[in-house]
Amino acid sequence: MPEQDSPAVVWLRDDLRVSDNPALREAIDSGRPVLPVYVLDDSGGAGRPLGAASRWWLHHSLAALDASLQKRGSRLVLRHGDGAEEVADVMRRTGAGLLTMNRRYVRGEREQDDRARLAAEQAGAAVSDHTASLLHEPGEVLNGSGDRFAVFTPFFRALSGAGTPRDPLPAPAAIDGWTGEVHSVDLADLGLLPTKPDWSGGLADTWTPGEKGAHRRVDEFVQHRLAGYAAHRDEPAAEASSRLSPHLKFGEISPYQLWHRVQGADAPADVRMKFLTELGWRDFDYDLLDTHPDLDTVNVHRNFDAFPWAEVDDEVLAAWQQGRTGIPLVDAGMRQLWATGWMHNRVRMVTASFFIKNLRYDWRLGEQWFWDTLVDADPANNAAQWQWVAGSGADAAPYFRVFNPVLQAQKFDPAGEYIAEWVPELRPLDAKGRHEPWNAAAATDYPAPVVDLKRSRQAALDAYQRMRD
């Protein structure tokens, strides 16, 4: 096959965008016709299979990406199976002379990428990979002794002090797409969407997956909410959050694009840096995943292996999952999660603390539920945040720090607006009643608490002391 007809295959993964996509840009610049490929690999061999909410998002993100590629003269080839094997098959059948990809960081993903690289090189093709989803490669940001940081604040100081992140790449106006025949499965055949019952209506009402949706959300955040982000980000009713986490997780926008967009915004420097710190946490969590590849199942601090977790009561577990614990802020968060696939960050900490320290259930059970129900479920961030709350992770909150959900609601949702939005049984009550309905005179259909907050807190502290002893 003549070289000019030999395509450059772009293996897309968590980078479902055409702008600031180094792998796509290299394929275009190679002068070869471009063939973008996405492989759904849900075998578990290359990282955790996506949860149900993330699968819903992926379906719509792939549809949006294919439309964007076709508008520019290309198309998206879809495959289902082992990523390395499917990509090798595409390259063999098309006679591809170049494989480009953006790096991944889960251990199984890296091993799969190595297999794809070896197969391509053995077939005589060139291979390249790029940094695209993080501001740095794990292990690049080191302290003065040449070691990795164990605490976030000095890590971010070093990361942000290392220079301005590179400028994002523009979207290509046109792509010379490869037009030969190659097998591609239909998007519907990937089985990403829920069947009966279809529980995704709330997700569809809340989100617009895809690159356009990501940039619309960035514009809205920067123009209308960034100025109040630092002051109101902990208030779940304030809508101060960017809600960009799922767009970042699927790579519909890059951290480079977001960094420069926020840095160029008309907002005080301390406000802009407060938001950019959250991008730093993403990088920090991936550094942690790089050194602890079993982050979702193994305690970073192994002394927590001896922690005396309580035996799980299935009815209590279901009450937590469904937002029926009788603790208003916890229930509001869990219902928001089920309806929208997302939960406010402050409330995530409160619901996780309640699960780990008041119910004293193993953090891994809660992490698994969030993995299945969050549209932004991320292999580094989700596990690191649960371990942070548990006290078993890096830079973790101490175990004896127990979030009191009533006090948290009184401080961050003083009028009970967030509670009223997601727990309609409590709307008729005043703020005090919404925070502590067990003390309200008016009768409601709201359940009694599944656990006494004061006694369960003390039981958690006693269990922590037994672990230390």
2 pLDDT higher than 60: no
- Identity of the amino acid at 371: W
DSSP single-letter state for residue 7: P
Helix, strand, coil percentages (3-state) for the chain, rounded to 5, are 50, 5, 45
Place of tokens 């037994």: 466
Topology (CATH level 3) of domain 302-468: DNA Cyclobutane Dipyrimidine Photolyase, subunit A; domain 3 (1.10.579)
Among residues 386, 388, 404, 422, which one is catalytic?
386
* Euclidean distance between CA atoms 373 and 55, whole angstroms: 10
* Euclidean distance between CA atoms 44 and 26, whole angstroms: 30
Residue 133: band (very low, low, confident or very high) from pLDDT cuts 50, 70, 90: very high
In 75-169, which ranges are continuous DSSP H helix? 83-94, 107-122, 152-160
Among residues 11, 320, 363, 422, which one is catalytic?
363
In 50-97, which ranges are continuous DSSP H helix? 52-71, 83-94
- Span 424-442, average pLDDT: 93
Among residues 11, 281, 371, 388, which one is catalytic?
281
Among residues 85, 338, 345, 436, which one is catalytic?
345
* Euclidean distance between CA atoms 286 and 109, whole angstroms: 13
Work out the number of other CB atoms within 10 angstroms of the CB of residue 189: 10
Our answer to whether residue 220 is catalytic in this structure is: no
Higher pLDDT, 330 or 440: 330
Task: Tell me the CA distances in angstroms from 274 to 280, 289, 338, one per residue in order.
Answer: 10, 23, 28
Residue 443: band (very low, low, confident or very high) from pLDDT cuts 50, 70, 90: low
DSSP single-letter state for residue 37: E
Q: What is the pLDDT of residues 244-281, one digit of tens each?
A: 999 999 999 999 999 999 999 999 999 999 999 999 99
**Total residues belonging to the chain:** 469
Topology (CATH level 3) of domain 134-164+211-291: 1.25.40
CATH architecture for segment(s) 3-132: 3-Layer(aba) Sandwich (3.40)
Angle, nearest 10°, between helix axes 345-353 and 328-340? 120
Task: Tell me the CA distances in angstroms from 271 to 143, 222, 334, 344, one per residue in order.
Answer: 26, 11, 29, 19
- Span 341-350, average pLDDT: 98
* Euclidean distance between CA atoms 420 and 426, whole angstroms: 6
Our answer to whether residue 281 is catalytic in this structure is: yes
- Span 198-210, average pLDDT: 96
Our answer to whether residue 386 is catalytic in this structure is: yes
**Domain ranges within the chain, ordered by starting residue:** 3-132, 134-164+211-291, 302-468
Do 297 and 177 touch, CB atoms closer than 8 A?
Answer: no
Token digits of residue 79: 């495959």
Q: What is the pLDDT of residues 62-75, one digit of tens each?
A: 999 999 999 999 99
- Identity of the amino acid at 105: Y
Common-topology check for domains 3-132 and 302-468: no
Our answer to whether residue 178 is catalytic in this structure is: no
Task: Tell me the CA distances in angstroms from 342 to 30, 208, 338, one per residue in order.
Answer: 40, 13, 8
Among residues 199, 309, 338, 369, which one is catalytic?
309
Among residues 85, 137, 140, 278, which one is catalytic?
278
Place of tokens 């061999």: 45
* Euclidean distance between CA atoms 74 and 116, whole angstroms: 23
Q: What is the pLDDT of residues 25-74, one digit of tens each?
A: 999 999 999 999 999 999 988 999 999 999 999 999 999 999 999 999 99
